[in-house]
Amino acid sequence: MADKDSKIEACAEALTVMWDNEVGHSEHTRRASEAAENLMSGGGTDLLYAPAEIVRMLTQAIEIGYTTALTDVGNGAHPNPGCSRGLNPPDSSSDLAM
């Protein structure tokens, strides 16, 4: 059991470092936090009674992903802006996979 706990602790520490680097000083921190809250609220009672460390890690992981996506889109990294929102629909069904 100690080995499992140490792996969880190492994962938690890695996420905290990633969070500090990606989210902690980002202009998207508030939006990432709101997105994580919305997603986590849909987790039902399983997340309600989950250990606090697990909930924190899930929240940080969501915030990291959300912040990274917002930053990438803001930097023009999306290859086809608007496509995921239906603004530039594909010409044929074979073009649907992006």
| Residue 19 is assigned to a structural domain of this protein | no
pLDDT tens column, 1-45: 678 888 888 999 999 999 999 898 889 999 999 999 999 888 878
Asked whether residue 5 is domain-assigned, the answer is no
Total tally of structural domains belonging to the chain: 1
* Structure token digits, residue 58: 């899930």
> Has residue 80 been placed in a domain?
no
Answer yes or no: is 63 within a domain.
yes
In this prediction the pTM is 0.70
User: In this structure, is residue 51 part of a structural domain?
Assistant: yes
- Report how far residue 57's alpha carbon sits from residue 67's, in angstroms, rounded to the nearest whole number: 15
Whether residue 32 lies inside any domain: the answer is yes
**35 occurs within a structural domain:** yes
Per the prediction, the chain carries an average pLDDT of 81
Residue 84 has pLDDT above 90, yes or no: no
Residues 31, 16, 42, 69: is their CA dihedral positive or negative? positive
Q: Determine the structural domain holding residue 69 and report its residue range.
A: 28-74
- Select the more confidently predicted residue: 98 or 27: 27
Q: Is residue 79 part of a domain?
A: no
Position 74 confidence tier, pLDDT thresholds 50, 70, 90? confident
Q: At what angle do helices 52-74 and 29-41 cross, to 10 degrees?
A: 130
